[in-house]
Structure 1
Amino acid sequence: MEFHLLGPFEAHHEGRRVLVGSRRQERCLLAILLLEAGAVVTTDRLIDLLWDGGAPASARGTVHTYIGRLRAALAPYGLRLETRHDGYAVEPDTHVVDTREFVHLVREAAAARDPAQRVRLHDRALALWRGPLLADVAGPRLRERIGGSLDDLRLSALEQRAEAQLAMGLHENVVADLALPAQQHPDRERIVAARMTALYRGGRQGDALALYRGTRRFLVAELGVEPGSGLRTLHDRMLRADPRLDRPPAPVYAVRVGEEWLPWNTSGHPALEFCNTYAGWGGPELPGSEWLRGYSTLAVWAGHLDLAEDRFVSRLLEQARRHPAEAAAALEEARDFRGRLYTCLTAPDDGRAFTAVAAVAEEAAKASVFVRGEDGLGRWRLPPGAGLRLPLRAVAHSAAELLADPRRFLIRACPGEQCGWLFLDESGRRRWCSLGTYGKGHPTQE
């Protein structure tokens, strides 16, 4: 079953809504158990929450009646309400609860090093909220008692997503996303600071300073405190027009293509450039090592390397917007292929890596068509029917050509611990890639 608690209470089984005719308090009781899935909620606590200190003498019997009705209604769907000591518990099992999924996604986002990945995870988490917790079965006081920590976590997710967006230069998104939260929660100074920064970068210095003044008035009047040092410092820097506030630092060893930052071309071959969309191959994973931050970057990169025509790239970006889950899966498959290709090129005796690369290359060969280019030369191309996997198949086709080329034995890996990028050493004298070392700057640096 699937349970939606972040908004009006809903229960679904195989896409069909259930428990539609149940009593409001019954749904509320079930929601309380689901919020604490796996733990025992005592009968006394259920009574206290459901009646908020004004329980009738029959409350205990009423709770038992509710449990009996819920058991009968849920039994056909495999959800069991267990009696334990003087209380009840719901075992999470394979059932989906949006509150639990929300917490998991926020924690995963906090652990992600790549700002774009953090934004994607926070987007998925925040999209689960369809309104206040249990909007149709719980009042404000009960909502605060059982879901106050969830609302705090939602605000923290808004803060962290905004800060990641600012690191990526997406200040327009932050201005729009935080308009209402900054107004509703002036005590959340990270939200205020993020929106002030976004307004300032958008050329709206006056609005940014007005937001600070309004926030300060609230804090002094309602809480009797001045803004924190971080917000005061940000305000002072804006008054001084500190140029460091204008935008995040531009990445080093990168080129801007459309809305994406891509690594410089350094290797002399598309298949090697694909491997070079990741850095630090030889050492521990570092912040800024991943250049393929989202499917859009992969698609734009393929066009930039002439592996896909511009009109196909535009089509891929639109497909990715309409089918984000499929785009994410295609990106993960491309990243996995990249790792296998890197192994194949740096460890020629690794038969398993070669077999894995060859399997994708064979798929690409079957799907390719031979076309005449604008320069009059023929070349193999992937048609748009390849869908979101077009960039992967195009890279695989390029990789197969390289593996069949004697130059394949001239491939070297930059020995820099933070690099590992591949290049063709046709002179036999190079030790490093053309950058000399992997740059400290990067669009995803922290």
Structure 2
Amino acid sequence: MIDSEPLAERPPKTPRLHPAWTVAVVAFVTLVGAAAFRSVPGILLDPLHHEFGWAHATIGSAVSLNLVLFGLISPFAAALMDTFGVRRVVILALLLVSLGSGLTVFMTQPWHLVATWGLLVGVGTGSMSMAFVATVTSRWFVARRGLVAGILTAGSATGQLIFLPLIAMVAGNHGWRTASLLAAGAALAVVPIVWLWLRDHPHDLGVTAYGATEEDPGPDRHTGVGSSAGRAIRVLITALGSRTFWLLSLGFAICGMSTNGLIQTHFVPAAHDHGMPTTLAAGLLAVIGVFDVVGTIASGWLSDRVDPRLLLVVYYLLRGVSLMLLPSLLGPSVEPPTWAFIVFYGLDWVATVPPTVLLAREAFGADGPIVFGWIFASHQLGAAVAATGAGFIRDVQGTYAPAFVITGALCLVAAVASASIRRVPVVDAPSPQPALMD
């Protein structure tokens, strides 16, 4: 039987899978590939020290520059994506990560390490941090934004889980240069995927954002997330006059010291100082990445039900105590108390993010997400201080124990700062520009 219904009157076919989910998958893979380098510094610190004789503080300074750039570029990366397109910026960022990691095989001087690990990789990873996650979720999703943001945020933890044991094994069997090339190759391998399947905006494919409605149609093609770098500066200037901003920034700076700066950078060599094999220590750090995902999701759930200030106080107090105990827990093998530390620290690793985001949103209204971008910059500055400072302590004292104790004490300061925050929600005012994150 011939269908007599005119072709023009037939309803258009809708794809079974909205293209937003393809973009989300590509973004996740991108973050996993970029995370390969995040596994390198802690594992290669000792090999570089032994081959070149460079001090731990010298190597840590390259990691510090990387962490500083990772944080400071983040508030402006969305503006670059709006001006030049998400796909172009992400591809350039991946190429910088790959180039920076790959060029390390030719280095002979400490400044070579700073230029590669610090500058090139720092700019690359900083261009694919919070801004990339915020841009993808805000442009492509109206429904499920929170879920997608959480999944993408977990991309770095997943990358750490995948690459930490692998890079440790390669470095142990084939040398640190092969491990660096592996990290470079992982970032480079993602470039074709980004080029083929990542798109800048739903309108490029003639569709609307996933879950778009008449009430919330999603962002306009010409008003992308974070389209004004000037706004980021203006918001910062306003936030500088807020007591809440300084308290949150202080707590988050200490958070960065106690995670990326100290544990992620120095846990493997610290455990090796106590006789633990490098591959085993790297495996433990990967386990932290597993529980990191669980802890972040659970903290987000709790933040909707419990005073976020209380959550931050508990997180920082427990983290501080655990750091002070860590030197006595390390040894050649992994005993139950060490496992307890690994599981707890994984659950607590970025559990501070959801309550911090919520408090920033309450205090600064529609500008809260941008303010959080600057608070995140303080996180990376704190991490940079710890990356260099802990290395300096190791060089002078011959042990990391004082670094763990000092950072643990600072976590107690963060707990006090969090308890001192006053919850005075503001009423959102109409904003001429959309926020960086939803």
Larger Rg: 1
Higher RCO (Cα < 8 Å, 6 or more apart) = 2
- The TM-score with structure 1 as length reference comes to 0.22
Structure number with the higher strand fraction is 1
- The TM-score with structure 2 as length reference comes to 0.22
Structure number with the higher helix fraction is 2
